[in-house]
Structure 1
Protein backbone atom coordinates (compact mmCIF):
# COMPACT_ATOMS: atom_id res chain seq x y z
CA UNK A 1 0.00 0.00 0.00
CA UNK A 2 1.34 3.42 -0.98
CA UNK A 3 2.03 5.28 2.29
CA UNK A 4 1.50 8.68 0.66
CA UNK A 5 -1.99 7.66 -0.45
CA UNK A 6 -2.67 6.35 3.06
CA UNK A 7 -1.77 9.78 4.46
CA UNK A 8 -4.06 11.44 1.92
CA UNK A 9 -6.89 9.10 2.90
CA UNK A 10 -6.25 9.87 6.58
CA UNK A 11 -6.38 13.61 5.92
CA UNK A 12 -9.71 13.37 4.07
CA UNK A 13 -11.23 11.14 6.75
CA UNK A 14 -10.23 13.53 9.53
CA UNK A 15 -11.30 16.66 7.65
CA UNK A 16 -14.59 15.16 6.43
CA UNK A 17 -14.13 16.99 3.15
CA UNK A 18 -11.86 16.74 0.10
CA UNK A 19 -11.60 20.52 -0.17
CA UNK A 20 -10.66 21.02 3.50
CA UNK A 21 -8.14 18.18 3.37
CA UNK A 22 -6.59 19.54 0.18
CA UNK A 23 -6.09 22.92 1.87
CA UNK A 24 -4.63 21.38 5.04
CA UNK A 25 -2.08 19.19 3.24
CA UNK A 26 -1.41 21.70 0.44
CA UNK A 27 -2.41 19.65 -2.59
CA UNK A 28 -4.79 20.46 -5.44
CA UNK A 29 -8.21 18.94 -4.87
CA UNK A 30 -8.36 17.13 -8.25
CA UNK A 31 -4.99 15.52 -7.53
CA UNK A 32 -6.17 14.48 -4.08
CA UNK A 33 -9.33 12.94 -5.55
CA UNK A 34 -7.24 10.96 -8.05
CA UNK A 35 -4.99 9.61 -5.31
CA UNK A 36 -8.00 8.43 -3.27
CA UNK A 37 -9.55 6.85 -6.38
CA UNK A 38 -6.30 4.99 -7.05
CA UNK A 39 -6.25 3.77 -3.44
CA UNK A 40 -9.84 2.56 -3.77
CA UNK A 41 -8.95 0.76 -7.01
CA UNK A 42 -5.93 -0.83 -5.32
CA UNK A 43 -8.06 -2.10 -2.43
CA UNK A 44 -11.10 -2.95 -4.55
CA UNK A 45 -13.46 -1.12 -2.20
CA UNK A 46 -15.18 2.23 -1.86
CA UNK A 47 -13.73 4.18 1.08
CA UNK A 48 -16.02 7.22 1.26
CA UNK A 49 -19.70 8.00 0.87
CA UNK A 50 -20.05 11.45 -0.69
CA UNK A 51 -22.93 13.89 -0.16
CA UNK A 52 -23.49 17.62 -0.30
CA UNK A 53 -22.08 18.16 3.19
CA UNK A 54 -18.82 16.28 2.73
CA UNK A 55 -17.69 12.67 2.96
CA UNK A 56 -18.29 9.81 5.38
CA UNK A 57 -16.41 6.56 5.81
CA UNK A 58 -17.80 3.36 4.36
CA UNK A 59 -17.35 0.09 6.33
CA UNK A 60 -14.13 -0.46 4.38
CA UNK A 61 -13.05 3.07 5.24
CA UNK A 62 -13.74 2.46 8.93
CA UNK A 63 -11.41 -0.54 8.83
CA UNK A 64 -8.72 1.39 7.00
CA UNK A 65 -8.81 4.45 9.27
CA UNK A 66 -7.86 2.36 12.32
CA UNK A 67 -4.86 1.02 10.40
CA UNK A 68 -3.99 4.48 9.10
CA UNK A 69 -4.10 5.99 12.61
CA UNK A 70 -1.68 3.35 13.85
CA UNK A 71 0.70 3.67 10.90
CA UNK A 72 0.83 7.47 10.89
CA UNK A 73 1.22 7.70 14.67
CA UNK A 74 3.96 5.06 14.54
CA UNK A 75 5.85 6.83 11.77
CA UNK A 76 5.73 10.12 13.70
CA UNK A 77 6.99 8.39 16.84
CA UNK A 78 9.87 6.76 14.99
CA UNK A 79 10.81 10.08 13.42
CA UNK A 80 10.87 11.73 16.87
CA UNK A 81 13.04 8.95 18.30
CA UNK A 82 15.51 9.15 15.41
CA UNK A 83 15.76 12.93 15.81
CA UNK A 84 16.27 12.43 19.54
CA UNK A 85 19.35 10.30 18.85
CA UNK A 86 21.10 13.37 17.51
CA UNK A 87 20.33 15.63 20.45
CA UNK A 88 17.67 16.79 22.90
CA UNK A 89 14.14 15.46 22.19
CA UNK A 90 11.82 17.84 20.37
CA UNK A 91 8.19 16.91 20.94
CA UNK A 92 4.74 18.12 21.95
CA UNK A 93 3.03 15.93 24.55
CA UNK A 94 -0.23 15.97 26.48
CA UNK A 95 -0.26 15.19 30.20
CA UNK A 96 -3.44 14.50 32.15
CA UNK A 97 -3.45 15.49 35.84
CA UNK A 98 -6.05 15.04 38.57
CA UNK A 99 -7.35 18.37 39.93
CA UNK A 100 -6.44 17.28 43.46
CA UNK A 101 -2.79 16.89 42.44
CA UNK A 102 -2.30 19.75 39.99
CA UNK A 103 -1.53 22.48 42.53
CA UNK A 104 1.35 20.55 44.07
CA UNK A 105 2.67 18.87 40.92
CA UNK A 106 2.52 21.27 38.02
CA UNK A 107 4.77 24.15 39.07
CA UNK A 108 7.84 22.04 39.95
CA UNK A 109 7.23 19.77 36.95
CA UNK A 110 7.03 22.65 34.47
CA UNK A 111 10.12 24.31 35.96
CA UNK A 112 12.09 21.07 35.69
CA UNK A 113 11.11 20.42 32.07
CA UNK A 114 11.69 24.04 31.06
CA UNK A 115 15.18 24.09 32.56
CA UNK A 116 16.37 20.62 31.55
CA UNK A 117 14.39 19.75 28.41
CA UNK A 118 13.48 22.96 26.56
CA UNK A 119 12.60 21.02 23.39
CA UNK A 120 9.58 19.41 25.04
CA UNK A 121 6.28 21.26 24.80
CA UNK A 122 3.67 20.12 27.31
CA UNK A 123 -0.10 20.49 27.11
CA UNK A 124 -1.75 19.83 30.48
CA UNK A 125 -5.36 18.75 30.91
CA UNK A 126 -7.12 18.46 34.25
CA UNK A 127 -9.92 15.94 34.73
CA UNK A 128 -11.32 13.49 37.25
CA UNK A 129 -9.88 9.98 37.09
CA UNK A 130 -12.79 8.40 35.17
CA UNK A 131 -12.77 11.14 32.55
CA UNK A 132 -8.99 10.86 32.32
CA UNK A 133 -9.23 7.18 31.41
CA UNK A 134 -11.49 8.09 28.50
CA UNK A 135 -9.07 10.79 27.35
CA UNK A 136 -6.24 8.26 27.43
CA UNK A 137 -8.18 5.69 25.41
CA UNK A 138 -9.23 8.32 22.88
CA UNK A 139 -5.63 9.43 22.41
CA UNK A 140 -6.34 12.94 23.72
CA UNK A 141 -3.66 12.64 26.41
CA UNK A 142 -0.38 10.74 26.08
CA UNK A 143 0.35 10.24 29.79
CA UNK A 144 -1.98 10.62 32.76
CA UNK A 145 -1.92 10.54 36.53
CA UNK A 146 -4.95 8.50 37.58
CA UNK A 147 -6.20 6.58 40.57
CA UNK A 148 -5.47 2.87 40.57
CA UNK A 149 -8.36 0.50 40.18
CA UNK A 150 -9.97 -1.57 37.47
CA UNK A 151 -8.56 -0.38 34.16
CA UNK A 152 -9.25 -1.36 30.54
CA UNK A 153 -6.79 -3.86 29.12
CA UNK A 154 -5.50 -1.19 26.74
CA UNK A 155 -4.15 0.90 29.64
CA UNK A 156 -0.63 0.33 31.01
CA UNK A 157 -0.06 1.76 34.48
CA UNK A 158 2.51 1.69 37.26
CA UNK A 159 2.14 2.61 40.91
CA UNK A 160 3.10 6.18 41.74
CA UNK A 161 1.96 7.08 45.27
CA UNK A 162 -0.29 5.93 48.12
CA UNK A 163 -2.06 8.97 49.57
CA UNK A 164 -4.24 8.88 52.70
CA UNK A 165 -7.84 10.12 52.51
CA UNK A 166 -8.54 12.66 55.27
CA UNK A 167 -11.44 14.60 56.67
CA UNK A 168 -10.74 18.18 55.60
CA UNK A 169 -12.27 21.08 57.52
CA UNK A 170 -11.65 24.58 58.84
CA UNK A 171 -9.06 24.47 61.68
CA UNK A 172 -10.74 24.09 65.06
CA UNK A 173 -9.51 23.77 68.61
CA UNK A 174 -11.78 20.89 69.64
CA UNK A 175 -9.15 18.29 70.50
CA UNK A 176 -10.17 15.87 67.71
CA UNK A 177 -7.09 14.16 66.24
CA UNK A 178 -8.77 11.55 64.02
CA UNK A 179 -12.23 10.73 62.69
CA UNK A 180 -13.97 7.35 62.82
CA UNK A 181 -16.72 6.22 60.50
CA UNK A 182 -19.29 6.71 63.26
CA UNK A 183 -18.12 10.32 63.75
CA UNK A 184 -18.04 10.92 60.00
CA UNK A 185 -21.69 9.92 59.69
CA UNK A 186 -22.70 12.88 61.86
CA UNK A 187 -20.79 15.56 59.92
CA UNK A 188 -22.33 17.77 57.19
CA UNK A 189 -20.29 17.26 54.03
CA UNK A 190 -19.69 18.82 50.66
CA UNK A 191 -18.58 16.07 48.27
CA UNK A 192 -18.11 15.37 44.57
CA UNK A 193 -20.83 13.42 42.76
CA UNK A 194 -21.23 9.67 43.16
CA UNK A 195 -19.03 8.76 40.19
CA UNK A 196 -15.99 10.32 41.90
CA UNK A 197 -13.48 7.77 43.23
CA UNK A 198 -13.19 9.10 46.79
CA UNK A 199 -16.98 9.29 47.14
CA UNK A 200 -17.36 5.70 45.91
CA UNK A 201 -14.58 4.46 48.19
CA UNK A 202 -15.97 6.15 51.29
CA UNK A 203 -19.57 5.09 50.69
CA UNK A 204 -18.57 1.48 50.00
CA UNK A 205 -16.56 1.26 53.22
CA UNK A 206 -19.22 2.96 55.34
CA UNK A 207 -22.09 0.94 53.88
CA UNK A 208 -20.24 -2.22 54.90
CA UNK A 209 -20.41 -0.89 58.49
CA UNK A 210 -24.07 0.18 58.24
CA UNK A 211 -23.06 3.83 58.15
CA UNK A 212 -23.74 6.58 55.62
CA UNK A 213 -22.40 9.97 54.60
CA UNK A 214 -24.44 13.11 55.25
CA UNK A 215 -23.78 14.83 51.92
CA UNK A 216 -25.44 18.26 51.90
CA UNK A 217 -23.89 19.56 48.68
CA UNK A 218 -22.42 17.82 45.60
CA UNK A 219 -19.77 19.82 43.73
CA UNK A 220 -17.29 18.42 41.21
CA UNK A 221 -14.65 21.07 41.85
CA UNK A 222 -11.80 20.51 44.29
CA UNK A 223 -10.88 24.24 44.58
CA UNK A 224 -14.52 25.15 45.31
CA UNK A 225 -14.85 22.42 47.95
CA UNK A 226 -11.67 23.62 49.64
CA UNK A 227 -12.91 27.22 49.72
CA UNK A 228 -16.25 26.13 51.18
CA UNK A 229 -14.79 24.05 53.99
CA UNK A 230 -12.34 26.84 54.82
CA UNK A 231 -15.19 29.32 55.42
CA UNK A 232 -18.13 27.22 56.71
CA UNK A 233 -18.84 24.37 59.12
CA UNK A 234 -18.95 21.93 56.20
CA UNK A 235 -16.24 19.28 55.80
CA UNK A 236 -15.12 17.10 52.92
CA UNK A 237 -13.01 14.05 52.14
CA UNK A 238 -9.84 14.57 50.11
CA UNK A 239 -6.40 13.01 49.88
CA UNK A 240 -3.75 14.66 52.02
CA UNK A 241 -1.82 15.63 48.89
CA UNK A 242 -4.77 17.71 47.68
CA UNK A 243 -4.63 19.96 50.76
CA UNK A 244 -1.02 19.72 51.97
CA UNK A 245 -0.25 23.31 50.97
CA UNK A 246 -3.34 24.73 52.75
CA UNK A 247 -2.65 22.61 55.84
CA UNK A 248 0.91 23.96 56.08
CA UNK A 249 -0.45 27.50 55.73
CA UNK A 250 -2.96 26.91 58.54
CA UNK A 251 -5.94 27.46 56.23
CA UNK A 252 -7.29 23.90 56.47
CA UNK A 253 -7.06 20.95 58.83
CA UNK A 254 -6.68 17.35 57.61
CA UNK A 255 -7.66 14.65 60.11
CA UNK A 256 -6.82 11.01 59.41
CA UNK A 257 -9.72 8.56 59.05
CA UNK A 258 -9.84 5.47 61.26
CA UNK A 259 -12.28 2.58 61.30
CA UNK A 260 -12.15 2.65 58.33
CA UNK A 261 -8.83 4.12 57.23
CA UNK A 262 -8.92 5.03 53.53
CA UNK A 263 -6.25 5.71 50.92
CA UNK A 264 -6.10 6.39 47.21
CA UNK A 265 -3.30 4.87 45.17
CA UNK A 266 -2.08 7.01 42.31
CA UNK A 267 -0.72 5.53 39.09
CA UNK A 268 1.00 6.87 36.00
CA UNK A 269 -0.75 5.51 32.92
CA UNK A 270 -0.47 5.40 29.12
CA UNK A 271 -2.73 3.89 26.49
CA UNK A 272 -0.61 0.79 26.13
CA UNK A 273 1.53 1.85 23.16
CA UNK A 274 5.33 1.92 23.21
CA UNK A 275 6.35 5.40 24.25
CA UNK A 276 9.28 7.35 22.85
CA UNK A 277 12.19 9.20 24.43
CA UNK A 278 10.27 12.43 25.04
CA UNK A 279 7.43 10.58 26.78
CA UNK A 280 9.92 8.75 28.96
CA UNK A 281 11.48 12.07 29.99
CA UNK A 282 8.10 13.39 31.11
CA UNK A 283 7.28 10.12 32.91
CA UNK A 284 10.56 10.19 34.83
CA UNK A 285 10.11 13.88 35.63
CA UNK A 286 6.63 13.24 37.06
CA UNK A 287 7.95 10.33 39.13
CA UNK A 288 10.86 12.36 40.46
CA UNK A 289 8.73 15.40 41.35
CA UNK A 290 6.11 13.26 43.09
CA UNK A 291 8.83 11.51 45.09
CA UNK A 292 10.30 14.84 46.19
CA UNK A 293 6.88 16.24 47.11
CA UNK A 294 6.02 13.10 49.08
CA UNK A 295 9.20 13.42 51.12
CA UNK A 296 9.11 17.18 51.70
CA UNK A 297 5.39 17.37 52.53
CA UNK A 298 5.20 14.07 54.42
CA UNK A 299 2.88 12.29 52.04
CA UNK A 300 2.96 8.52 52.07
CA UNK A 301 6.23 7.55 50.38
CA UNK A 302 5.91 6.04 46.91
CA UNK A 303 6.89 2.47 46.24
CA UNK A 304 9.96 1.69 44.15
CA UNK A 305 9.14 2.74 40.61
CA UNK A 306 8.46 -0.11 38.22
CA UNK A 307 9.88 -0.15 34.72
CA UNK A 308 6.70 -0.34 32.67
CA UNK A 309 7.86 2.88 30.99
Structure 2
Protein backbone atom coordinates (compact mmCIF):
# COMPACT_ATOMS: atom_id res chain seq x y z
CA UNK A 1 0.00 0.00 0.00
CA UNK A 2 1.44 3.39 -0.99
CA UNK A 3 0.35 7.02 -1.20
CA UNK A 4 -0.30 6.91 -4.96
CA UNK A 5 -2.72 4.05 -4.43
CA UNK A 6 -4.49 5.82 -1.58
CA UNK A 7 -4.79 9.08 -3.54
CA UNK A 8 -6.26 7.25 -6.53
CA UNK A 9 -8.67 5.30 -4.32
CA UNK A 10 -9.89 8.39 -2.42
CA UNK A 11 -10.60 10.35 -5.61
CA UNK A 12 -12.40 7.46 -7.28
CA UNK A 13 -14.42 6.72 -4.13
CA UNK A 14 -15.48 10.33 -3.51
CA UNK A 15 -16.34 10.96 -7.18
CA UNK A 16 -17.92 7.51 -7.69
CA UNK A 17 -16.18 7.33 -11.05
CA UNK A 18 -12.79 6.40 -12.50
CA UNK A 19 -13.42 8.78 -15.42
CA UNK A 20 -14.05 11.83 -13.23
CA UNK A 21 -11.14 10.95 -10.92
CA UNK A 22 -8.80 10.64 -13.91
CA UNK A 23 -9.87 14.10 -15.12
CA UNK A 24 -9.32 15.68 -11.69
CA UNK A 25 -5.92 14.03 -11.20
CA UNK A 26 -4.94 14.53 -14.86
CA UNK A 27 -3.89 10.88 -15.12
CA UNK A 28 -4.91 8.15 -17.58
CA UNK A 29 -7.90 6.14 -16.41
CA UNK A 30 -6.14 2.77 -16.92
CA UNK A 31 -3.36 3.93 -14.59
CA UNK A 32 -5.88 4.74 -11.86
CA UNK A 33 -7.58 1.39 -12.35
CA UNK A 34 -4.25 -0.41 -11.92
CA UNK A 35 -3.46 1.54 -8.74
CA UNK A 36 -6.81 0.78 -7.14
CA UNK A 37 -6.71 -2.86 -8.21
CA UNK A 38 -3.21 -3.28 -6.78
CA UNK A 39 -4.44 -1.73 -3.51
CA UNK A 40 -7.24 -4.29 -3.38
CA UNK A 41 -4.74 -7.08 -4.03
CA UNK A 42 -2.37 -5.79 -1.32
CA UNK A 43 -5.19 -5.55 1.22
CA UNK A 44 -6.97 -8.72 0.05
CA UNK A 45 -10.25 -6.82 0.10
CA UNK A 46 -12.71 -5.64 -2.53
CA UNK A 47 -12.96 -1.89 -2.00
CA UNK A 48 -15.20 -0.82 -4.88
CA UNK A 49 -18.15 -2.39 -6.61
CA UNK A 50 -18.63 -1.44 -10.27
CA UNK A 51 -22.09 -0.73 -11.67
CA UNK A 52 -23.49 0.86 -14.81
CA UNK A 53 -23.27 4.37 -13.36
CA UNK A 54 -19.80 4.21 -11.84
CA UNK A 55 -18.57 2.66 -8.60
CA UNK A 56 -19.85 2.31 -5.05
CA UNK A 57 -17.91 1.52 -1.91
CA UNK A 58 -18.00 -1.87 -0.25
CA UNK A 59 -18.04 -2.00 3.56
CA UNK A 60 -14.25 -2.46 3.48
CA UNK A 61 -13.99 0.50 1.12
CA UNK A 62 -15.99 2.73 3.48
CA UNK A 63 -13.63 1.91 6.35
CA UNK A 64 -10.51 2.49 4.26
CA UNK A 65 -11.82 5.75 2.81
CA UNK A 66 -12.05 7.45 6.21
CA UNK A 67 -8.57 6.30 7.20
CA UNK A 68 -7.09 7.16 3.80
CA UNK A 69 -8.31 10.74 3.93
CA UNK A 70 -6.74 11.16 7.35
CA UNK A 71 -3.44 9.64 6.15
CA UNK A 72 -3.25 11.87 3.06
CA UNK A 73 -4.13 14.89 5.13
CA UNK A 74 -1.36 14.14 7.63
CA UNK A 75 1.15 13.71 4.80
CA UNK A 76 0.05 17.06 3.39
CA UNK A 77 0.38 18.66 6.83
CA UNK A 78 3.90 17.23 7.22
CA UNK A 79 4.94 18.65 3.85
CA UNK A 80 3.62 22.07 4.77
CA UNK A 81 5.26 21.91 8.20
CA UNK A 82 8.63 21.32 6.55
CA UNK A 83 8.02 24.21 4.19
CA UNK A 84 6.99 26.42 7.11
CA UNK A 85 10.39 25.88 8.71
CA UNK A 86 11.64 28.16 5.96
CA UNK A 87 9.47 31.02 7.19
CA UNK A 88 6.15 31.70 5.43
CA UNK A 89 3.05 29.99 6.77
CA UNK A 90 1.02 28.32 4.06
CA UNK A 91 -1.10 25.22 3.71
CA UNK A 92 -4.72 24.39 4.44
CA UNK A 93 -6.37 24.89 7.84
CA UNK A 94 -9.65 23.02 8.29
CA UNK A 95 -12.06 24.19 10.98
CA UNK A 96 -15.45 22.75 11.94
CA UNK A 97 -18.16 24.90 13.50
CA UNK A 98 -21.36 23.96 15.29
CA UNK A 99 -24.35 25.54 13.47
CA UNK A 100 -25.09 28.12 16.20
CA UNK A 101 -21.49 29.37 16.01
CA UNK A 102 -21.28 29.22 12.22
CA UNK A 103 -24.23 31.60 11.91
CA UNK A 104 -22.51 34.51 13.61
CA UNK A 105 -18.79 33.78 13.33
CA UNK A 106 -17.91 32.34 9.91
CA UNK A 107 -17.42 35.57 7.96
CA UNK A 108 -15.39 37.30 10.68
CA UNK A 109 -13.18 34.25 11.31
CA UNK A 110 -12.42 33.82 7.60
CA UNK A 111 -11.64 37.53 7.30
CA UNK A 112 -9.23 37.41 10.26
CA UNK A 113 -7.60 34.23 8.98
CA UNK A 114 -6.87 35.73 5.56
CA UNK A 115 -5.50 38.89 7.17
CA UNK A 116 -3.07 36.95 9.38
CA UNK A 117 -2.19 34.11 6.99
CA UNK A 118 -2.49 35.54 3.46
CA UNK A 119 -0.71 32.60 1.79
CA UNK A 120 -2.73 29.92 3.54
CA UNK A 121 -6.17 28.48 2.84
CA UNK A 122 -9.01 27.98 5.29
CA UNK A 123 -11.79 25.43 4.89
CA UNK A 124 -14.88 25.85 7.10
CA UNK A 125 -17.25 22.92 7.66
CA UNK A 126 -20.54 23.20 9.54
CA UNK A 127 -21.77 20.13 11.37
CA UNK A 128 -23.42 18.77 14.48
CA UNK A 129 -21.07 18.58 17.45
CA UNK A 130 -21.23 14.77 17.45
CA UNK A 131 -20.00 14.75 13.85
CA UNK A 132 -17.30 17.35 14.55
CA UNK A 133 -15.87 15.15 17.29
CA UNK A 134 -15.70 12.22 14.86
CA UNK A 135 -14.07 14.37 12.16
CA UNK A 136 -11.41 15.51 14.64
CA UNK A 137 -10.68 11.95 15.71
CA UNK A 138 -10.29 10.88 12.07
CA UNK A 139 -8.05 13.84 11.19
CA UNK A 140 -10.52 15.33 8.67
CA UNK A 141 -10.39 18.73 10.42
CA UNK A 142 -7.72 20.46 12.51
CA UNK A 143 -9.99 22.06 15.09
CA UNK A 144 -13.65 22.57 15.92
CA UNK A 145 -15.85 24.87 17.96
CA UNK A 146 -18.49 22.53 19.35
CA UNK A 147 -20.81 21.85 22.25
CA UNK A 148 -19.12 20.12 25.17
CA UNK A 149 -21.40 17.43 26.57
CA UNK A 150 -18.69 15.51 28.38
CA UNK A 151 -15.63 13.51 27.47
CA UNK A 152 -15.11 12.85 23.77
CA UNK A 153 -12.60 10.07 23.02
CA UNK A 154 -9.43 11.21 21.21
CA UNK A 155 -10.41 14.90 21.44
CA UNK A 156 -8.96 17.59 23.72
CA UNK A 157 -11.34 20.45 24.55
CA UNK A 158 -10.90 23.86 26.13
CA UNK A 159 -13.98 25.84 27.26
CA UNK A 160 -14.82 29.07 25.42
CA UNK A 161 -18.24 30.33 26.49
CA UNK A 162 -21.75 29.18 27.42
CA UNK A 163 -24.98 29.63 25.49
CA UNK A 164 -28.20 29.93 27.45
CA UNK A 165 -31.12 27.88 26.14
CA UNK A 166 -34.61 29.41 26.06
CA UNK A 167 -38.10 28.03 25.56
CA UNK A 168 -39.09 29.40 22.15
CA UNK A 169 -42.82 29.84 21.41
CA UNK A 170 -44.85 31.59 18.74
CA UNK A 171 -45.37 35.34 19.13
CA UNK A 172 -48.28 36.08 21.43
CA UNK A 173 -48.22 32.65 23.08
CA UNK A 174 -49.56 32.57 26.63
CA UNK A 175 -46.23 31.65 28.22
CA UNK A 176 -44.59 33.40 31.21
CA UNK A 177 -41.37 35.37 30.81
CA UNK A 178 -39.59 32.72 32.92
CA UNK A 179 -40.34 29.16 33.99
CA UNK A 180 -38.60 26.65 36.25
CA UNK A 181 -37.12 23.62 34.55
CA UNK A 182 -39.69 21.38 36.27
CA UNK A 183 -42.44 23.20 34.31
CA UNK A 184 -40.95 22.25 30.93
CA UNK A 185 -43.14 19.12 30.51
CA UNK A 186 -46.21 21.40 30.21
CA UNK A 187 -45.02 22.47 26.77
CA UNK A 188 -45.02 20.05 23.82
CA UNK A 189 -41.55 20.26 22.31
CA UNK A 190 -40.37 20.25 18.72
CA UNK A 191 -36.89 18.88 19.25
CA UNK A 192 -33.99 17.56 17.15
CA UNK A 193 -33.17 13.85 16.90
CA UNK A 194 -31.00 12.09 19.45
CA UNK A 195 -27.74 12.63 17.55
CA UNK A 196 -28.17 16.41 17.96
CA UNK A 197 -26.30 17.99 20.88
CA UNK A 198 -29.17 20.30 21.83
CA UNK A 199 -31.36 17.22 22.33
CA UNK A 200 -28.63 15.68 24.49
CA UNK A 201 -28.29 18.82 26.63
CA UNK A 202 -32.02 19.19 27.23
CA UNK A 203 -32.56 15.52 28.05
CA UNK A 204 -29.52 15.37 30.34
CA UNK A 205 -30.78 18.35 32.39
CA UNK A 206 -34.29 16.90 32.56
CA UNK A 207 -33.10 13.39 33.46
CA UNK A 208 -30.92 14.68 36.31
CA UNK A 209 -34.12 15.93 37.98
CA UNK A 210 -36.42 13.10 37.02
CA UNK A 211 -38.34 15.24 34.52
CA UNK A 212 -40.18 13.52 31.65
CA UNK A 213 -40.34 15.81 28.61
CA UNK A 214 -43.34 15.99 26.28
CA UNK A 215 -41.97 15.43 22.76
CA UNK A 216 -44.40 16.53 20.05
CA UNK A 217 -42.18 16.30 16.96
CA UNK A 218 -38.59 15.38 16.09
CA UNK A 219 -37.12 17.74 13.49
CA UNK A 220 -33.36 17.94 12.95
CA UNK A 221 -33.01 21.34 11.22
CA UNK A 222 -33.61 24.67 12.95
CA UNK A 223 -35.43 26.53 10.10
CA UNK A 224 -38.32 24.02 9.90
CA UNK A 225 -38.48 23.93 13.71
CA UNK A 226 -39.06 27.71 13.67
CA UNK A 227 -41.65 27.33 10.91
CA UNK A 228 -43.57 24.77 12.96
CA UNK A 229 -43.38 26.91 16.10
CA UNK A 230 -44.73 29.85 14.12
CA UNK A 231 -47.67 27.70 12.98
CA UNK A 232 -48.46 26.65 16.54
CA UNK A 233 -47.33 23.01 16.48
CA UNK A 234 -45.32 23.33 19.67
CA UNK A 235 -42.34 24.93 21.38
CA UNK A 236 -38.58 24.40 21.23
CA UNK A 237 -35.57 24.73 23.48
CA UNK A 238 -32.91 26.61 21.54
CA UNK A 239 -30.19 29.25 21.98
CA UNK A 240 -31.31 32.70 20.84
CA UNK A 241 -28.65 32.60 18.14
CA UNK A 242 -30.96 30.18 16.35
CA UNK A 243 -33.81 32.66 16.03
CA UNK A 244 -31.58 35.66 15.38
CA UNK A 245 -30.47 33.81 12.24
CA UNK A 246 -34.07 33.31 11.08
CA UNK A 247 -34.09 34.47 7.42
CA UNK A 248 -37.70 35.65 7.81
CA UNK A 249 -36.77 37.75 10.86
CA UNK A 250 -39.89 36.70 12.76
CA UNK A 251 -40.57 37.58 16.38
CA UNK A 252 -40.94 34.71 18.84
CA UNK A 253 -41.84 34.50 22.50
CA UNK A 254 -38.62 33.73 24.40
CA UNK A 255 -38.97 32.33 27.92
CA UNK A 256 -36.02 32.01 30.27
CA UNK A 257 -35.64 28.57 31.84
CA UNK A 258 -34.46 28.72 35.45
CA UNK A 259 -34.00 26.65 38.60
CA UNK A 260 -31.74 25.56 36.94
CA UNK A 261 -31.11 27.02 33.51
CA UNK A 262 -29.92 24.96 30.56
CA UNK A 263 -26.49 26.01 29.33
CA UNK A 264 -24.77 24.79 26.20
CA UNK A 265 -21.05 25.00 26.90
CA UNK A 266 -18.99 25.71 23.81
CA UNK A 267 -15.40 24.51 23.55
CA UNK A 268 -12.59 24.49 21.03
CA UNK A 269 -11.55 20.94 20.27
CA UNK A 270 -8.43 19.43 18.70
CA UNK A 271 -7.40 15.83 18.16
CA UNK A 272 -4.92 14.33 20.61
CA UNK A 273 -3.98 11.73 17.98
CA UNK A 274 -3.04 14.03 15.09
CA UNK A 275 -0.37 16.68 15.81
CA UNK A 276 -1.18 20.21 14.68
CA UNK A 277 0.92 21.87 12.01
CA UNK A 278 2.55 25.21 12.77
CA UNK A 279 -0.17 26.92 10.73
CA UNK A 280 -2.94 25.08 12.59
CA UNK A 281 -1.39 25.90 15.98
CA UNK A 282 -1.29 29.60 15.11
CA UNK A 283 -4.78 29.51 13.60
CA UNK A 284 -6.27 27.84 16.69
CA UNK A 285 -4.74 30.57 18.86
CA UNK A 286 -6.30 33.16 16.55
CA UNK A 287 -9.70 31.46 16.86
CA UNK A 288 -9.56 31.53 20.63
CA UNK A 289 -8.73 35.24 20.70
CA UNK A 290 -11.34 36.17 18.06
CA UNK A 291 -14.36 34.09 19.05
CA UNK A 292 -15.01 35.64 22.49
CA UNK A 293 -15.39 39.24 21.18
CA UNK A 294 -17.66 37.91 18.41
CA UNK A 295 -19.79 36.09 20.98
CA UNK A 296 -19.96 39.15 23.24
CA UNK A 297 -21.08 41.29 20.30
CA UNK A 298 -23.74 38.69 19.53
CA UNK A 299 -24.93 38.86 23.13
CA UNK A 300 -25.78 42.55 22.65
CA UNK A 301 -28.15 41.57 19.84
CA UNK A 302 -29.66 38.92 22.11
CA UNK A 303 -30.18 41.41 24.94
CA UNK A 304 -31.83 43.82 22.49
CA UNK A 305 -34.11 41.04 21.25
CA UNK A 306 -35.16 40.16 24.79
CA UNK A 307 -35.53 43.81 25.74
Residues 11 and 25, structure 1, Cα contact 8 Å, conserved in 2: no
- d(CA) in 1 for partners of 2:218 and 2:175? 28
Identify the residue that residue 83 of structure 2 maps to in structure 1. 83
Please provide the CA RMSD for this pair.
4.2
Identify the residue that residue 284 of structure 1 maps to in structure 2. 285
Residues 95 and 122, structure 1, Cα contact 8 Å, conserved in 2: yes
* Residues 170-179 or 86-95, more deviating: 170-179
Secondary structure of the corresponding residue to residue 185 of structure 1: helix
Distance 1:270 1:179, change over 3 A: same
Identify the residue that residue 201 of structure 1 maps to in structure 2. 201
Identify the residue that residue 303 of structure 2 maps to in structure 1. none
Superposed CA deviations along residues 68-120 of structure 1, whole A, max 9, x for unmatched, are 98876554323312333445422223221111221111121122223332323
Secondary structure of the corresponding residue to residue 160 of structure 2: strand
- d(CA) in 2 for partners of 1:232 and 1:295? 32
Q: CA deviation at 1:232?
A: 3.8
- d(CA) in 2 for partners of 1:70 and 1:126? 18
- d(CA) in 2 for partners of 1:115 and 1:255? 40
Q: CA deviation at 1:172?
A: 4.3
Residues 73 and 139, structure 2, Cα contact 8 Å, conserved in 1: no
How many residues are matched? 279
Residues 178 and 255, structure 1, Cα contact 8 Å, conserved in 2: yes
Q: CA deviation at 1:179?
A: 1.7
Q: CA deviation at 1:292?
A: 0.3
Residues 84 and 90, structure 2, Cα contact 8 Å, conserved in 1: yes
Q: CA deviation at 1:48?
A: 5.2
Give the structure-1-normalised TM-score: 0.70
Q: After the TM superposition, which residues 220-299 of structure 1 pair with which residues of structure 2 at under 5 Å, given as runs?
A: 220-230=220-230, 232=232, 234-243=234-243, 251-272=251-272, 273-298=274-299
Identify the residue that residue 148 of structure 2 maps to in structure 1. 148
- d(CA) in 2 for partners of 1:52 and 1:236? 44
Secondary structure of the corresponding residue to residue 234 of structure 1: coil
Q: CA deviation at 1:254?
A: 3.5
Give the structure-2-normalised TM-score: 0.71
Residues 175 and 255, structure 2, Cα contact 8 Å, conserved in 1: no
Identify the residue that residue 103 of structure 1 maps to in structure 2. 103
Q: CA deviation at 1:136?
A: 2.3
- d(CA) in 2 for partners of 1:138 and 1:147? 18
Secondary structure of the corresponding residue to residue 176 of structure 1: coil
Q: CA deviation at 1:250?
A: 7.7
Identify the residue that residue 169 of structure 2 maps to in structure 1. 169
Distance 1:289 1:235, change over 3 A: farther
Q: After the TM superposition, which residues 64-83 of structure 1 pair with which residues of structure 2 at under 5 Å, given as runs?
A: 73-83=73-83
Residues 132 and 144, structure 2, Cα contact 8 Å, conserved in 1: yes
Secondary structure of the corresponding residue to residue 213 of structure 1: coil
Gap runs ≥5 in structure 2: 301-307
